Structure 1
Amino acid sequence: MSTQPEHPTLLIPGPIEFDDAVLQSMSHFSESHVGPGFVSTFGETLSMLRKLFQTTNPASQPFVISGSGTLGWDLVAANLVEPGEDVLVLSTGYFSDGFADCLRVYGAQVTELKAPVGGRPQLPEIEKALSEKRYKVLTVTHVDTSTGVLSELQKLSDLVHRVSPDTLIIVDGVCSVACEEIAFDDWKLDGVVTASQKAIGCPAGLSISMFSGRAMEALQKRKAPPASYFGSLKNWTPIMQNYEARKPSYFATPSPQLIHALHTALCQILSKPLAARFARHKEVSDKIKSVVAELGLRQIAGDPNDQAHGMTAFYLPEGVQAAELLPKLAKKGVIFAGGIHREIAPKYVRFGHMGVSVTDPSRGDIDRAIEALRSGLLECGYQQVQKQT
């Protein structure tokens, strides 16, 4: 049984519910960030990230920096793109658009390929765009948290390497790392940025990323210094390399307690095969999506191939408002998220299902949420609960 105080089950697309052992790691006594105990913990954490991202290439470089997932955008924009260089952004929702906005702040010339709400740019149009202009970087949001749209990475990478081999492939994996497969080496990715508080299952506050040897080479070949001081990967690279080599180092103070929590979360994740973890997320996702269909509801991501496995975003039925349904769910001890996509925000809600709520069925989080959704819709006056034909 959990030792946490009784609380509503948090089933939004991040932050998620946290395992007791992870939270207990946060209560670690205060220690020096350059002391031998912490240096060992941080070094092991960086090494474990290589396993999570599935890279054995020594040229790949992990980073763990205090900040939110959004810091990952800044790391890419400030370090891998110089003012005036072209970037192709594949847009699948609110967060893809945010990445584009961040790149513009640093002077990038951004071209956005926008998909209709609930879809993703298709390979032929991506190939056309890549054939028309040389892009320094292509960004793709693996799972856009605003829509639950899952982008396919392997075929996309194959296309980019064939049509525009010098273009760096950067993945926003904030809502995908640790619940969707990311084979960093096999898929020839150049960067994946993520955060601690989603499927990794650690409290918010850490920006986590992995960059390829190609990306690190592009960083070294910059004509101008990175356009950020705290966010300069040139400043952070020797720090990360020293910690992984179990040597104390300093640029800016890390959070020892959060690093301990991340270390615990990664130990739990890697205690079982990653393939089994991804399969479990898919199994639970399929169950939830089946219930959504049985309730006569429609997902934002219409194509099953475009549907994420760590969250489900679905339109509310006619006559039911999120402002009415969400408080009813909260009274039943379940927290869902409202919509944030600018075009459809009032029309849908988001159900996050990743991390410990999925991997530990004894908690009962998912079944409790499904029952709350069924009864909550009935209380809102929605009667259509028969399966769609």
Structure 2
Amino acid sequence: MPHHLLKATPTSNPAARISSISRHLLGGAQSTANPSFPSTTSVSSTQNRNFSSSPSANMSSQPEHPTLLIPGPIEFDDAVLQSMSHYSESHVGPGFVATFGDTLSMLRKLFQTTSPSSQPFVISGSGTLGWDLVAANLVEPGEDVLVLSSGYFSDGFGDCLKVYGANVDLLKAPVGSRPQLPEIEKALKSKKYKMVTVTHVDTSTGVLSELQKLSETVKSVSPDTLLIVDGVCSVASEEIDFDAWKLDGVVTASQKAIGCPAGLSISMFSGKAMDAFKARKSPPASYFASMKNWTPIMQNYEAKKPSYFATPSPQLIHALHTALSQILTKPLSERFARHREVSDKIKKAVADLGLTQVAGNPDDQAHGMTAIYLPETVKATDLLPKLAKSGVVFAGGIHKEIVTKYVRFGHMGVSVTDPARSDIDKAIDALKSGLADCGYQKA
């Protein structure tokens, strides 16, 4: 078995895992809960809705609140939130069916796929539901899966696959890095894998995995193996060229760079992946997460035909429709370039403070978040409340090996793309003053 290639076992201490994940919310726990969005907000029709970003850095239609700069959920544009106030309507009525159909079609543009065999899914649930969708449908009990591990969430994907009976091998990288192509190639040659999973950006470390060369390696060494991407913390902030890179599946969620409130599991699968599902010998191992149940629903909605398996959230679909409409008003290349530009600015500010990142190699650093090692003299439990007093919310650490040693700064979506917002400068200033208040001085 290749170096660092470990046989995954079921999580031995679920309580410890739950305790660890709770630290993801550490920053938010230090600040006052956000007030509810006013019920008096005016509602405009889909046809007449203004898809431009918020005109004011004060977010005029939103109550005053700390700026949320964790790696998701993120700050939301006014128009997206206003979409959530859409009047109640039937989930099989013509108005909603048209909106949902357009939303599915726009997802094809976001993922950059024009293949008729590609299949989008939008299902009520969190990003984690994407793991179940993959594990319940694309792998059968006893089949081998190679999980490329770059942090907490990579390992979580492996845990999910194990629950559904897959034989999971973890190819682990040291904290702050990712498995390298030579060792991946060696692992692929060691046995026949049904699937390789990679977490594009592991939210626990801010490590960015490279997809294009990875796909070329997988297709070259093991062309029948499916390549599945966890893009929860990357879609809409990092480039993903679904067709050109020959990806077989990307799962994501609504509340990160897409900029829609939490509650939607969003995914895209290739024709090859759908064929693998159709060829399985046993039924899907889930009812709610069954592609057998959901595929005809998605196909009917995209064809503007009413359909039903389980009730979607019309309000969330309207918000997603608005968010995607905003994203697609400009070339995706501009969006990705803007995220890179702001990321570079933040990472320079971190370096100027004498701090380092969890992801040490610049090529491995995500552009929608930054995981920052704290000075030895500063504790996250001291720094995060000071940031909150400055009106900025960061997240605490979550990777068990370094959990107390770092904080996470999310910078994606409107906080990056809306020139009227001062979120990023505000956060950098708060970080500087917060560290100073904790007694830190650059050596």
Normalising by structure 2, what TM-score?
0.87
Flag as ranges the 4+ runs of structure 1 deviating above 3 A: none
Match of 2:211 in 1: 153
Cα separation, 2, equivalents of 1:120 and 1:366 = 27
> In the alignment, residue 159 of structure 1 is paired with which amino acid?
T
Secondary structure at 1:88's aligned position in 2? strand
> In the alignment, residue 23 of structure 1 is paired with which amino acid?
L
Structure 1 gap ranges (5+)? none
Match of 1:205 in 2: 263
Secondary structure at 1:146's aligned position in 2? coil
Match of 1:84 in 2: 142
1:72 and 2:130 equivalent? yes
Shift of 1:203: 0.1
Secondary structure at 1:345's aligned position in 2? coil
1:283-315 CA distance string (max 9 Å, x none): 000000000000000100000000000000010
Secondary structure at 2:420's aligned position in 1? helix
Cα separation, 1, equivalents of 2:165 and 2:299 = 29
Cα separation, 1, equivalents of 2:228 and 2:421 = 35
User: Residues 290-305 of structure 1 correspond to what in structure 2 (within 5 A)?
Assistant: 290-305=348-363
Match of 2:248 in 1: 190
Shift of 1:318: 1.2
Cα separation, 1, equivalents of 2:213 and 2:297 = 34
Of the candidates 3, 7, 11, which is equivalent to residue 69 of structure 2? Answer: 11
1:170 and 2:228 equivalent? yes
Secondary structure at 1:117's aligned position in 2? coil
Match of 1:29 in 2: 87
1:138 and 2:196 equivalent? yes
Of the candidates 389, 396, 413, which is equivalent to residue 331 of structure 1? Answer: 389
Match of 2:19 in 1: none
1:111 and 2:169 equivalent? yes
1:226-268 CA distance string (max 9 Å, x none): 0000000110000000000000000000000000000000000
Counting aligned pairs with the same residue, the percent is 82
Cα separation, 2, equivalents of 1:40 and 1:326 = 44
Cα separation, 1, equivalents of 2:408 and 2:372 = 7
Shift of 1:363: 1.2
Secondary structure at 2:171's aligned position in 1? strand
Cα separation, 1, equivalents of 2:256 and 2:274 = 26
Of the candidates 102, 105, 120, which is equivalent to residue 47 of structure 1? Answer: 105
1:242 and 2:300 equivalent? yes
1:174-233 CA distance string (max 9 Å, x none): 000000000000000000000000000000000000000000000000101100000001
Aligned residue pairs total 385
Secondary structure at 1:363's aligned position in 2? coil
> In the alignment, residue 209 of structure 1 is paired with which amino acid?
S
Secondary structure at 1:271's aligned position in 2? coil
Cα separation, 2, equivalents of 1:295 and 1:241 = 51
1:125 and 2:151 equivalent? no
Cα separation, 2, equivalents of 1:269 and 1:375 = 34
Bigger mean CA deviation after superposition, 354-363 or 27-36: 354-363
Normalising by structure 1, what TM-score?
0.99
Cα separation, 2, equivalents of 1:318 and 1:346 = 10
Secondary structure at 1:207's aligned position in 2? strand
Secondary structure at 1:370's aligned position in 2? helix
User: Residues 335-346 of structure 1 correspond to what in structure 2 (within 5 A)?
Assistant: 335-346=393-404
Shift of 1:362: 1.3
Cα separation, 2, equivalents of 1:356 and 1:54 = 21
1:222 and 2:222 equivalent? no
1:286 and 2:344 equivalent? yes
Structure 2 gap ranges (5+)? 1-55
Secondary structure at 2:323's aligned position in 1? helix
